[in-house]
Amino acid sequence: MSVTAPQGFEAAGVAAGLKSTGKADVAVVVNRGPRKVGTAVFTSNRAKANPIIWSQQVVADRTVEAVVLNSGGANCFTGAFGFQTSHLTAEKAAELLGVSAGDVVVCSTGLIGSGDEVFRGKVLAGVEAGIAELSAEGGQAAAEAIMTTDTVAKTVVVRRDGWTIGGMAKGAGMLAPGLATMLVVLTTDADLDAVDADAALRRATGVTFDRLDSDGCMSTNDQVTLLANGASGIRPDLDEFAAALTEAADDLAKKLQGDAEGASHDITIVVQGAASEQDAVEVGRSVARNNLFKAAIFGNDPNWGRVLAAIGTTRAAFDPYDTDVFMNGVRVCTAGGPDRPREEVDLTPRATELVIDLKHGDATATIRTNDLTHDYVHENSAYSS
């Protein structure tokens, strides 16, 4: 059910010819109210796609009526023509829905530099077809329409007493922190004001999507949008709602990690004993971006030396001679030297846990990443995105 699990949302996914495979490539998600609260977080990449520039204006007033998403073209670095395409997309949807274009978020994903006249025509036709098919059962179709190199549609539903959160996500490459790192739409029928919706979204993304760093490459098009309509009539407090939203976002982040391009291991890096959460995140990201460590995990090699070498490039409080490293539960490094024999570490399962104990405090953070594989190189050299 994804985004249509909460009351008062409709969605659709249609094939508009943007994908050469003929699969669905335009999705529409509409909030039927009563409230039209909407907010979003965007990629912090300074090279932003046209739909990002458009949508940042849309959410400024925290009111969103609908989200239009397309795969099959990023509409990034397509000049003034491309920005006009995003604008026209919103206007088309607004006209058909009887709302203001300034309340329609637009998201695009696909090849950077593509977005010509033909692209525009297909997107606008897709918006029309999508809106004609809107239904309260359309969540799954919408989730499928935003897939690119994803192998599975990614959806989530989190239910609480009387209210619900639904969500969908796409993303398989260019996954790195910097606010959002993919296209995500989250919906809820909880009754939230704009301030709480925005606070909850930032709390949730800060510890989930922001800490997924599959390949260290930050996208130009990423956006996580939250729509809240109050249709349940129930008003959870901020902490309660933020916890549920974090659960939904965490579930989608795990699904993105599990479907990352070419990956053969999902690596959870837990940094503990840090002097600050910032230190823990910096250490986790540094290890997550170390190609030598990532290649070692691909080869089922518990190479703790590469972990310490990666930590050494950070500014975090740590003593290389008093840091513990555990791989899948086995302490392979302690006191600046080898500990248990490497043969004890079984790295054959896809789920891989690396625990780093910095022994400098009580702060902790978890970063999710993937290994560096032949398939990653292959997909990203052959697939032009």
Shortest distance, position 364 Cβ to a copy of itself, whole Å = 21
Does position 118 interact with a copy of itself (CB under 8 A)? The reply is no
Q: Which is nearer to a copy of itself, 268 or 380 (CB)?
A: 380
| CA 366 to chain CA mean position, Å | 16
- Strand runs (DSSP E) across the chain, as ranges? 9-14, 26-31, 37-42, 66-70, 104-108, 154-159, 164-170, 183-188, 223-228, 266-274, 324-327, 330-334, 337-338, 351-357, 363-370
Q: Is 44 annotated as a binding residue?
A: no
Residue 68, sorted as left (phi over 0), alpha (psi -120 to 50) or beta, turns out to be: beta
Residue 22 interacting with a copy of itself (CB under 8 A): no
Which residues pair with residue 365 across a beta bridge?
Answer: 271
43-51, 143-151, 204-212, 360-368 -> range binding a copy of itself (CB under 8 A): 43-51
Strand-pair category, 363-370 with 266-274? antiparallel
For a copy of itself, the closer of residues 34 and 320 by Cβ is 320
- Contact set for a copy of itself, span 159-178 (CB under 8 A): 173-174, 178
Beta bridge partners of 69: 27, 107
Q: Is 369 annotated as a binding residue?
A: no
Rounded to a whole number of angstroms, the minimum distance from the CB of residue 256 to a copy of itself is 16
In whole angstroms, give the CA distance from residue 107 to residue 365: 30
Which of 17, 102, 113, 258 forms a contact with a copy of itself (CB under 8 A)? 113
| Least distance between a copy of itself and beta carbon 118 (Å) | 15
* 366 in a known ligand binding site: no
CB 298 within 8 A of CB 264: yes
Select the residue interacting with a copy of itself from 144, 196, 215, 324 (CB under 8 A): 215
Q: Say what the alpha-carbon torsion angle 173, 176, 177, 181 is, to the nearest 10 degrees.
A: -10
Q: How far is the CB of 277 from a copy of itself (least distance, A)?
A: 20
Decide if residue 310 touches a copy of itself (CB under 8 A). yes
Taking the C-alpha atoms of residue 354 and residue 270, their distance in angstroms, rounded to an integer, is 6
Give Cα 198 to chain centroid, integer Å: 17
- Give min distance, CB of 243 to a copy of itself, in A: 31
Residue owning tokens 């006191």: 335
| Contacts (CB under 8 A) with a copy of itself, residues 240-299 | 289-292, 295-296, 298-299
Is 261 annotated as contributing to ligand binding? yes
- The residue (of 159 and 350) whose beta carbon lies closer to a copy of itself is 350
* Contact window for a copy of itself (CB under 8 A) among 19-27, 41-49, 153-161, 186-194: 41-49
- CB of residue 123 vs a copy of itself: minimum separation in angstroms? 18
Residue selected from 69, 76, 192, 345 as contacting a copy of itself according to rule CB under 8 A: 76
Q: What is the dihedral of CA 176, 179, 249, 307, to 10 degrees?
A: 40
Largest separation between any pair of C-alpha atoms in the chain: 67
Known binding residue 208? Answer is: no
One-letter amino acid for residue 356 of the chain: I
Residue 47 interacting with a copy of itself (CB under 8 A):
yes
Q: How far apart are CA 213 and CA 176, in angstroms?
A: 4
Taking CB under 8 A as the binding criterion, the range among 135-143, 163-171, 269-277, 377-385 that sits at the site for a copy of itself is 377-385
CA distance 249 to 237: 18
Among 61, 335, 350, 362, binds a copy of itself (CB under 8 A): 335
Q: Is residue 111 at the binding interface for a copy of itself, with CB under 8 A as the rule?
A: yes
Q: Is 352 a catalytic residue?
A: no
**Pick from 356, 288, 355, 290: which is nearest to 317 by CA?**
356
Strands 351-357 and 266-274: parallel
The residues annotated with a catalytic role in the active site are 181
Q: What does the binding site for a copy of itself look like in residue numbers (CB under 8 A)?
A: 45-48, 74, 76-79, 82, 111-113, 173-174, 178, 215-220, 289-292, 295-296, 298-299, 301, 303-306, 308-314, 318, 320-321, 333, 335-338, 372-374, 376-378, 380-382, 384-385
> Binding site residues for substrate, as ranges?
148, 170, 181, 261, 380, 385
